[in-house]
Amino acid sequence: MNKFELLGLNDALLQAIKDMGFESPSEVQEKAIPILLQEDTDMVALAQTGTGKTAAFGFPLIQKIDVNSRKTQGLILSPTRELCLQITNELKNYSKYFKGLNTVAIYGGASITDQAAQIKKGAQIIVATPGRMQDMVNRRLVDISAIQYCILDEADEMLNMGFYEDITEILSHTPKEKSTWLFSATMPKEVSTIAKKFMRTPVEITVGTKNMGTSNVSHEYYVVNARDRYAALKRLSDANPDIFSVVFCRTKRDTQKVAEQLIEDGYNAAALHGDLSQNQRDLVMKSFRARQIQMLVATDVAARGIDVDDITHVINYQLPDEIETYTHRSGRTGRAGKSGVSMVIVSKSEARKIKGIERIIGQAFERKDIPDGREICEVQLFHLANEISKTEINHEIDKYLPSIAELFEGLTKEELLKKFFSVEFTRFFNYYNNAQDLNAKGSTEVYEDEGDSTRFFINVGAKDDFDWMSLKDFLKATLDLGRDDVNRVEVKDSFSFFNVDSSKAEEVIKIFQDFKHNGRHINVEITKKSAGKERSGGRKGGGGFKGRDKGERSFDKPSRSGDKGRRRSSDAPTGGRRRSSDAGSGGRQGKKSGGRSSSIESSIKRRRSKK
């Protein structure tokens, strides 16, 4: 027996659940669904973003609706248009085997007449944003006088956005005898006020700890000089070639500025803020969902309720004014059981705010260094190698092979590989060759300097089922080191980095000299000088990565490696860029184009595996 069956759901729902590929209920679903099915009760359910709250109220709601009546029986209020559409979509999926069940979305920025017409046809469930709902109630375009179920979804965000009055107003038009279900990620004062005011002895369900940040999100911060913020952002992106991120800025102006700069520098970026029209915002979100945008630069208000799975990184380009807002930002990643990273770029004077955030999220931050040029080149090189090795051969090439082969006659495999990789690598190398150290010098007030440690490269990564924790454990065991002796473990797809105290560096190399793990040869190398030395002694020496790059900001980019959208790149070699501004970002189109930006990667068919 499947675990969903045990919750008391009927066959029509179980079939839909099976179709969607859900294997077992999440914790909030397991706790909420049986109660909501069996009793007519009010409920307050607290669970992190991405824990499956929609189904936790959606399944019981659908099962309880009387499809033979065309009356509106259930009302779901949700903070944003995006969420509203997302919930409606989910509910339609859940209820596909319920003949005659209609779910209608009501939200601002679209024709009110169309929405009213849809309601008139009969909508047992309405999913609405508070503003538009109130408008329609006032104009008597909806009748919610007989609803039995009222759901306040993402209640904390609705209140954050100032919908308290609208909600109160809407609820005053609903019958006293009904069940109210409140779902929220956090429980600030305002939410308990609402609960007290509108609910009668609600059943309380809490998943995880109240107010905690999502626990599969790791939190990192980077200390830079304020003028290096933008350059740092680019490095963080370049060091994570598969990044799919939301970048938070404090103001609309900064949001627009950073997005424009990124687009100009060749990244797949776009802006999302309140000065864009609804239509423009829709286009941006559509491109983002389709992964045509890798970096969505957004204000807090515009990003509320962004409900996109698989976001790999949240980047706090600037910290929010209210540190409580940080939880909402970081909750955009690490959804649906996946892991995510929330990065904060701070100046020295802001660094002490980190402690305050740690208290709120109940989780520690890790201080990290902005990667240097060499590290980024390495990451990009191995990323490319990995992509190439995964690429399926396109046999359309076969017929051209003889002439191509002629061109490379007499080259050894090694020479050929070197040439091949130089196409991409040289671009990054040239760009980062003179890149300066962006990490702010001197100690900050938050944490002690790391001291004299050595950074290592190791040729195992996520592909070998390591995450930073398991790799750290593996290293600690293998090297016979203590809890704090291995640090700054950073796991990439097919390789990783870690730091060990420099006094033990030789030993590390020795231990890994002839080492096999699961039958595979493990290769460990020193990548760069100690972080401690860099910080006190100024710029690094050696390796050709020395000196200063004045032009990092305006310098022609190393173009973004592509994304899914690049598949269509045959008709648009610099496609990612153009699409970004088409998508209504309002950003200028990149001026620099042509030869240098065409990359090997853009011609590789990229398949980003979703799971």
Binding site for ligand ADP (CB under 6 A): 22, 25-26, 29, 47, 49-55, 307, 309, 335-336
**Between residues 31 and 53, which has the closer beta carbon with respect to Mg ion?**
53
**Cα(259)–Cα(309) distance, rounded to whole angstroms?**
22
**Between residues 54 and 597, which has the closer beta carbon with respect to ligand ADP?**
54
Q: In the 3-class helix/strand/coil scheme, how is 187-227 assigned residue by residue?
A: CCHHHHHHHHHHCCCCEEEECCCCCCCCCCEEEEEEEECHH
Question: If you search the block for the tokens 């027996």, which residue do you land on?
Answer: 1
> Under the criterion CB under 5 A, does residue 472 sit at the interface with Mg ion?
no
HSE-CB for 537 with a 13 A CA cutoff: 10
Residue-wise DSSP of 336-389:
TT--EEEEEEE-GGGTTHHHHHHHHHTS-EEE-PPP-HHHHHHHHHHHHHHHHH
Side by side, the strands of the sheet bearing 269-272 are: 269-272, 295-298, 245-248, 313-316, 340-346, 217-223, 365-367
Residue 41's CB is within 10 A of a number of other CB atoms, namely: 15
Query: CB of 521: closest distance to ligand ADP in angstroms?
Result: 38
335 binds, among Mg ion, ligand ADP, none (CB under 5 to 8 A by kind): ligand ADP
Within the chain, what is the greatest distance between any pair of CA atoms? 85
26 binds, among Mg ion, ligand ADP, none (CB under 5 to 8 A by kind): ligand ADP
51 binds, among ligand ADP, Mg ion, none (CB under 5 to 8 A by kind): ligand ADP
Residue-wise DSSP of 477-524:
HHHT--TTTEEEEEE-SS-EEEEEEGGGHHHHHHHTTTEEETTEEE-E
**Between residues 216 and 433, which has the closer beta carbon with respect to Mg ion?**
216
**Between residues 54 and 499, which has the closer beta carbon with respect to ligand ADP?**
54
Query: CB of 294: closest distance to Mg ion in angstroms?
Result: 24
Residue 497 bridge partners (DSSP): 457, 490
H/E element holding 525? strand 524-528
Q: Which stretch binds Mg ion (CB under 5 A): 21-29, 52-60, 320-328, 467-475?
A: 52-60
Residue type, 131: G
**Between residues 53 and 566, which has the closer beta carbon with respect to Mg ion?**
53
Tell me the pairing of strands 203-206 and 43-46. Answer: parallel
**Between residues 22 and 447, which has the closer beta carbon with respect to ligand ADP?**
22
Q: Which stretch binds Mg ion (CB under 5 A): 50-58, 167-175, 226-234, 467-475?
A: 50-58
**Between residues 45 and 272, which has the closer beta carbon with respect to ligand ADP?**
45
Query: CB of 53: closest distance to Mg ion in angstroms?
Result: 5
52 binds, among Mg ion, ligand ADP, none (CB under 5 to 8 A by kind): ligand ADP
**Cα(51)–Cα(28) distance, rounded to whole angstroms?**
7
**Between residues 53 and 328, which has the closer beta carbon with respect to Mg ion?**
53
Tokens coding 246? 């939301």
Measure the CA angle with vertex 451, ends 445 and 453; round to 5°.
135
Query: CB of 8: closest distance to Mg ion in angstroms?
Result: 22
> Under the criterion CB under 5 A, does residue 566 sit at the interface with Mg ion?
no
**Between residues 83 and 271, which has the closer beta carbon with respect to ligand ADP?**
83
Query: CB of 78: closest distance to Mg ion in angstroms?
Result: 8
Residue 227's CB is within 10 A of a number of other CB atoms, namely: 9
378 binds, among Mg ion, ligand ADP, none (CB under 5 to 8 A by kind): none
342 binds, among ligand ADP, Mg ion, none (CB under 5 to 8 A by kind): none
> Under the criterion CB under 5 A, does residue 53 sit at the interface with Mg ion?
yes
Query: CB of 50: closest distance to ligand ADP in angstroms?
Result: 5
Residue 108 DSSP one-character state:
T
Look at residue 12 and give its three-state secondary structure.
Answer: helix
Query: CB of 52: closest distance to Mg ion in angstroms?
Result: 8
Query: CB of 47: closest distance to ligand ADP in angstroms?
Result: 6
Total residues binding Mg ion (CB under 5 A) = 1
Contact residues for Mg ion, defined by CB under 5 A: 53
